[in-house]
Chains A and B, each alone.
Chain A
Amino acid sequence: MAGSHSHWRTPRSCDVYWSEFKHCKSLFNRFHEYYTYGRAPDCQQWKEDYYTCKDWETNHSTHTKESLQESERKRVAEQRKFTPVWELRQTPPADWHLPLNQGKPQDP
């Protein structure tokens, strides 16, 4: 829809993509990727997303929008690539906000 297209914003601002790219490439992060996963980090996508983001700022093309959306959806999917051990709640635990029992009465 033409209306939603003009209101669309990049999921992150362009400088965020650049700072993520620089952080990804840093010695600190490369060390920790090895320390955690035993491999080198893959930072290329952050750089591409930065350029796509800058592209969007200049020409607002559907292609750049979809490219960025696809990249981010992949990132979200990556974060969800596991089978949860537990069932997620719809509402928080009922007793979270209940006051503490100061005297701690004996339960029967």
Chain B
Amino acid sequence: MDQNSAKEDGSSNKGPLQDTKEPEKQKAAAESKQKEEDLGYSLYPERNSSKYAQGSIGESLFTFKHKCQIMLQFAMDTSPYAKLLLGAMKSSGCAVYKDRHFSCEDCDGTVSGGFDAATSQIVLCQNNIHQQAHMNRVVTHELIHAFDHCRARVDWFSNFRHLACSEIRAANLSGDCSFVNEISRFNFGLKEHHQACVRGRALRSILAVRKVSREEAERVVDEVFDSCFHDHAPFGRIPHAKKDAKFAYRDYENRDRYYANL
């Protein structure tokens, strides 16, 4: 089952591990590797080095990079969710450039994407995203993390409340928990099921990228849920489907007139 996870970092050394004979260097390397695992980087093995050289024949023949890039461009051009987020980020001073802020890579089997706060990049798992609708959703989900990174002092590395909050928002606002998506996962629920789904997916995302007990993760999610579930920025509403997102985008385009006449 595909899942998104937010991958974030403070200051860990992300260079490739060197094989040396000096014990201090070996110890530092081991510590660095441990830190990488603690932060979920092992899910994204291509963050440090990729199997095929960029632009090589091997890359075009044996990876889905090209397909990923085409689907990404289509999502950025046509998805009202993505367009709104891109516009809001530009207004906040974080204009998004496809070549700089997105990276299509092969990832671990279960993950669809991630946000790397250390490099300000959104990772798209080209080996796990094969449909446009899925790409749209992953792009939206990760852009919400990027948006939070841009507009708030989010401590991805050491503040679980911040991490949980961004995951709650991303699950809530990206369409991850739409009725149709939940049904496709055989999660049948009706009354207030959206909230249960958001809690569950936020929990899963946290557990995927941090070494923390389920009880601890649940506690943190419960603590911040009320606040973060009601933070709908930049949509102004929970966009359950394209029509909601289109209305939200319309509001965003008219924001100058709106606030000038309040």
A residues whose Cβ falls under 8 Å from a Cβ of B:
8-12, 16, 19-20, 23, 28-29, 31-32, 34-38, 69, 72-73, 76, 79, 81-89, 91-93, 95-100, 104-107
Asked, given contacts A35-B179, A92-B92, whether A12 binds B258 with beta carbons under 8 Å apart, the answer is yes
**Total of A-B residue pairs, C-beta within 8 Å:** 118
The 20 listed contacts between A and B (C-beta, < 8 Å) are: A8-B261, A11-B257, A12-B254, A16-B254, A28-B240, A32-B179, A32-B194, A34-B190, A35-B179, A69-B261, A76-B262, A81-B230, A85-B165, A85-B227, A86-B152, A104-B14, A104-B15, A104-B48, A107-B11, A107-B13
Report chain B residues within 8 Å CB of A19. 247
Report chain A residues within 8 Å CB of B13. 106-107
Asked, given contacts A88-B152, A107-B15, whether A35 binds B165 with beta carbons under 8 Å apart, the answer is no
Q: Give chain B interface residues in 243-262, CB to chain A under 8 Å.
A: 243, 247, 250-251, 254, 257-258, 260-262
Q: Contact partner of A89 among B152, B161, B251, CB < 8 A?
A: B152
Q: How many residues of B contact A (CB 8 A)?
A: 54
B100 with A99: CB separation less than 8 A: yes
Asked, given contacts A20-B247, A38-B191, A107-B15, whether A84 binds B231 with beta carbons under 8 Å apart, the answer is yes
B191 with A89: CB separation less than 8 A: no
Asked, given contacts A37-B192, A72-B262, A84-B227, whether A92 binds B150 with beta carbons under 8 Å apart, the answer is yes
B100 with A100: CB separation less than 8 A: yes
Asked, given contacts A12-B254, A81-B230, A93-B150, whether A36 binds B15 with beta carbons under 8 Å apart, the answer is no
B119 with A87: CB separation less than 8 A: no
Asked, given contacts A83-B227, A85-B228, A96-B94, whether A11 binds B194 with beta carbons under 8 Å apart, the answer is no
Asked, given contacts A37-B192, A89-B152, A107-B13, whether A95 binds B231 with beta carbons under 8 Å apart, the answer is no
B172 shortest CB reach to chain A, Å: 9
